[in-house]
A and B are shown apart, each in its own frame.
Chain A
């Protein structure tokens, strides 16, 4: 067939398969960053959206975790101090006084928790927990839809740019990479901000509902390392999921679209 010889002619000056047809990572990231900077206002909305949702998730989960920890430690602490006090009664009156003071502290801690309703009414607590799950689900979906919409808008605005890239020889894969990197970037920054805000909220919540003095330093650190990485990963995954459809739309665009004058 003459076709194969034709192809040979066109690919003859290829220089031995130097067909890259893609950009180095550095330049791709440079492009993504530039685009985010150019649409700073719009992307700010996405950032805030993710940040709020992640902060909400984070404060909910971490708060629950911290309270559970406190409950457990307060319970065992009180028990051990009681034992100590009983022992002291038997041995020394002076030590007994000190132990009693300590005991009172422990009892106070437990009383604070009790007052906040943590030992009472497990049925309403469960109902509240269910509501929390629904709220988190709902806010997650809202956030997803918001990001998808904003990114679709960005794709529509960039029809000509994407078309031009395709005219210059970019393949679908390159366009996909461009939008995916962008969404990962947005997701990372947004959820990092969200996680930090959520962490601070958690501490404030525990401190205000209970007492600041109940939070030990080690527990604060522990909560940070348990919650923040998880929140950042979850937020980024959420953003990338939201970006799948807009990316698909962008990748499917035809080079002819670059010729459009009216947008």
Chain B
């Protein structure tokens, strides 16, 4: 069970890392499209796109911390 949980946590950490990179790239593409068309996104969507990568990286870090905690207990 421990190995399954540690593997899952590691996969979650990988997911949040990839998600962080994807969200940053997606946001930059959205900004580029805004500039190209001259059409601004509504504020709530823009805020979401700005906040989401930060949330992802924090969750990824939380996964790492929990992994370390589990490893130290083991």
Q: Do A and B come from one complex?
A: no
